[in-house]
Amino acid sequence: MSIPTRQASLKELADVIGAKIHGDPETFISGIATLEHAGPGDLSFFSNRKYHKYLLETQASIVILHPDDLSNCPSSAILFNDPYLAYAKIATWLTKPKTQQVEIAANAVLEDNVTLGENISIGAHVVIGTGSKIGDNVRLHAGCSIADNVTIADSTILYPNVSIYSNVSIGKQCIIHSGAVIGSDGFGIANEQGDWFKVPQLGHVVVGDNVEVGANTTIDRGAIEDTIIENGVKLDNLIQIAHNVRIGENTAIAGCVGIAGSSTIGKYCAIGGGAGILGHLNIADHVHITATSLVTKSITEAGVYSSGTPLQENAQWHKNFIRFKQLDKMARRLSELEKRNNL
């Protein structure tokens, strides 16, 4: 299946990223498709060796690929060292929406002292609280709830039914997907003779520029200090970020990750899906944590870290688990043997 786009030539597409070309500069495309399903008039890309057989047979008019793979390409080509990145930038350019008409839905509710920028769009049933400031070129889709004293900077998009609590600041060019909640109370409770007493959550949430927050992801406000999401952070769907967490620049976090309170994640980190990070920990810059890992202590050096047991056939897993329970006994026996033999 081809995804329709606006029409563009090989030269135009290459100019978007400053790439070299192979073939007729006036080769045109008007759609995007995978190598396997592309036809004439489609753009595709090759970045994974698993799809090499599809490259050899593709009908795409233009393929984005590494220069080393040009000899295997039957089509015109855009040559770039990172084809996937090149595709991302070109596809963004091809599918960029047209300038929208400025509109504020008749049933939107704007409380007192709301400041609105230029060229904004506010959808049906949006509510904006007292003292909030909405920047230029902001799009608030239907059903969004913006509480008091919220700041949303220029060119940020909130998709339907996003909830932003009071005293939250969101930077420029952010994307907040449906169902996200930013600024809800952190999980602060104190025990009083068996009963739980709620601890007031008095801090704020500060979201930097060019941040993406996935659908149904939640970011809690700080207990006293702020929860901070720095510039360029990318958050997948269904992530829980607790109070007072700080996430460094350009860190990417996959779905279903949970980060407990007052932990700090460094810059340029990557955290795989389903990972858990306990509270009050520090993660260094350039750390990669693989999927479903449990981080129980701080990580002070860059690198790749993993925990957990990869999937196995059930009978083999049972055998390994039994042996795992025997490790302590085996270690003690080995230590005794080493002592007897003066090793």
What pLDDT shows up at residue 141? 97
The string over 202-234, giving b where at least 16 C-beta atoms fall within 10 Å of a residue's C-beta and e elsewhere, is ebbbbbbbbbbbbbbbbbbbbbeebbbbbbbbb
Mean pLDDT of 199-211: 97
- Rounded mean pLDDT, 176-187: 97
CA 73, distance to chain mean position in Å, is 32
5-18: average pLDDT: 96
- Strand 189-192 versus strand 195-198 pairing type: antiparallel
Residue 97 pLDDT: 74
Q: What are phi and psi of 245, to 5 degrees?
A: -75, 145
Instruction: Pick the closest to residue 250 from 208, 205, 301 (CA basis).
Output: 208
The arithmetic mean of pLDDT across residues 217-234, rounded, is 97
Task: Write the CA distances from 236 to 159, 178, 249, integer angstroms.
Answer: 15, 12, 15
Q: Residue 308's pLDDT is what?
A: 83
Report d(CA 279, CA 67) in Å as an integer.
46
Could you tell me how many residues make up the chain?
Answer: 343
Residues 6+ apart with CB under 8 A from 207: 168, 169, 170, 171, 174, 182, 213, 219, 229
Q: Is the pLDDT of residue 203 over 70?
A: yes
165-189 in b/e form (b: 16+ CB < 10 A) is bbbbbbbbebbbbbbbbbbbebebe
For 241-267, the pLDDT digits (tens) are 999 999 999 999 999 999 999 999 999
266: its two tokens: 């460094």
If one compares 327 and 128, the residue with the highest pLDDT of the two is 128
31 phi and psi angles, rounded to 5 deg: -160, 170
Taking residues 82-111, report their average pLDDT. 89
Q: Give the model's pLDDT for residue 100.
A: 59
Question: Does position 98 have pLDDT exceeding 80, yes or no?
Answer: no
Question: What's the token pair of residue 149?
Answer: 């004293």
- Strands across the sheet containing 76-79: 3-9, 28-32, 42-45, 62-65, 76-79, 20-22
Round the average pLDDT of the chain to a whole number and report it: 95
Q: What is the mean pLDDT of residues 39-64?
A: 96
- What residues act catalytically? 243
Place of tokens 């080393």: 68
Q: 126 falls in which pLDDT band (50, 70, 90)?
A: very high
Average pLDDT over residues 177-199: 96
| pLDDT number for residue 310 | 85
Tell which wins on pLDDT, 1 or 262: 262
Which pLDDT band, with edges at 50, 70 and 90, does 343 fall under?
low
- pLDDT, position 114: 97
Find the range with the poorest average confidence among 90-104, 122-136, 169-183.
Answer: 90-104
Q: Which residues contact 294 (CB under 8 A, 6 or more apart)?
A: 275, 276, 278, 307, 308
Q: Is the pLDDT of residue 61 over 60?
A: yes
pTM of the model: 0.89
Q: What is the dihedral of CA 102, 103, 104, 105, to 10 degrees?
A: -160
Q: What is the pLDDT of residue 337?
A: 87
The mean per-residue pLDDT over the stretch 287-302 comes to: 97
**Over 60: is that where the pLDDT of 99 sits?**
no
